[in-house]
A and B are shown apart, each in its own frame.
Chain A
């Protein structure tokens, strides 16, 4: 729709071809972008499951809709003025009435919320130096203004503490970065943001970085993650039906924020995650990336790095990284997140490997057949994906197309620098977990936390 809207803004009539299941989203997006009357031609089915006959029939039928859309009289000349007073009381009522009202407005995630009263919001604002109504960014897809005020309101609702406010601001600044591509966060893959916290703020605010780091249970880890999903709902506009813009086929629920066990990383002789993101050890940093899924917490064993590499590749390597390998080539960006328990980090480091060494060896060890990669791309809708084309365009090394054999093995990860490594979890266990990252949508973006 964005290209269509750009054409409309240039004074050129456009018609967008949209499959049935995405009509509401397309109309909502067009409205948010100021062209509510933008014309749509409906492809009446699920494209990627149609056989040749259905596909041809459905495609041919589009012509008459296109003619109609191009000829349609112009729509409204101007959107109505939208009054908006962020301080206005939207309801005065009991706790139950507040819950019902917020659910009815699609403003809650289904869990009870803390009522956002002006007094509570002000308590949060006492922990930031921003003007409450200064526009930090306009968040797609619903094109609403992100401000310290709305951050505080959603922070209250999520059950955060007022002193978390600097973290909440950093998170919103991160997802507002164009490099994060928030506009694609409602894709059918059901992506979910993952928060990684680095630096002194971990201990200052009581983040869990040890056993059960990924579990609900610590207020900082849990409520901050809940906040981010609420903010994406209420300000970015990503709501599942009966809302719009969130087109997750299944979707994940909010993922508890991860904090690194920086003492363990340092004891292993490794740089911390925050340092790898370009910040000093004394800086507090929030990083956001998205995931499309999480692996099992596979055990790896051995006293040396090669043993752990073998187990990581066997257990959570080929089967999972390979499925999204095409995304990393297409965008080109892939940032899988690997969380190692401290004992594993210690064993790998004892062999003299740095985080960079581990990344390099993983990339050298994980392969997928070319046919499987191209097949995965096709099923995802990337219907022009071709390894040979990328090689011809010099975007991939020649080895990716050194034959036509679909069973030839090619590296799943072409750029090891994208692999994110964090040390966290139970220091007494030997497990690794991996978060699948979704390429161009939600690549890691970090912002300093202004404590």
Chain B
């Protein structure tokens, strides 16, 4: 039996080429400001608090900015919160960010 042959094209869309971002390493945490971001899900407030305790035990001079300063990064106000994030991080002099929780 002779079967038909098909020349087929791809169904996927063109990937939006994004330039990879290179953020500087943060090595010595003492004296650094760390912003804590939360999606208000999965007990993230407790997880961030415990992680903070763990970090402060070894880096007592690190300063933390509470998640409430930034707002809910997931939910009805998500777009506004994410849009404002670079500005708020700068206003808070943040050197680094801890973000939770993906689950």
Interface residues of A (CB under 8 A from B): 1-19, 21-22, 25-26, 32-37, 41, 43, 46-48, 55-56, 59-64, 66-67, 70-79, 81-82, 84, 86-95, 98, 101-102, 107, 115-118, 121, 138-139, 142-147, 150, 153-154, 157, 178, 230, 234-235, 330-333, 381-384, 440
Contact = CB atoms under 8 A, between A and B. Distances in A.
A386 to B, nearest CB: 11
B73 A47 contact: no
A8 B23 contact: yes
Contacts, number: 274
The list of the 5 closest CB pairs from A to B, nearest first, reads: A63-B54, A34-B18, A144-B13, A17-B100, A59-B50
Contacts of B96: 12-15, 70
Contacts of B12: 107, 144, 150, 234-235
Interface in B23-65: 23-27, 29, 35, 37, 39-48, 50-51, 53-55, 57-58
Nearest to B12: A234
Nearest to B50: A59
Contacts of A70: 25-27, 29, 96
A36 B20 CA distance: 7
Nearest to A331: B76
Contacts of A333: 76
A358 to B, nearest CB: 27
A62 B54 contact: yes
B99 A15 contact: yes
A168 to B, nearest CB: 13
A1 B81 CA distance: 14
A5 B37 CA distance: 12
A384 B98 contact: no
A212 B43 CA distance: 44
Contacts of A64: 54
Contacts of A10: 85-86, 89-90
A212 to B, nearest CB: 29
A387 to B, nearest CB: 15
A94 B55 CA distance: 60
Given A10-B86, A145-B15, A331-B76, 7 more contacts: A7-B86, A9-B21, A26-B102, A34-B18, A71-B26, A77-B22, A84-B15
B8 A35 contact: no
Contacts of A47: 42-43, 47, 101, 103
A46 B39 CA distance: 17
A33 B21 CA distance: 10
Nearest to A20: B103
Given A6-B85, A13-B24, A34-B18, A66 B98 contact: yes
Contacts of B46: 55, 59
Given A79-B17, A144-B16, A74 B25 contact: yes
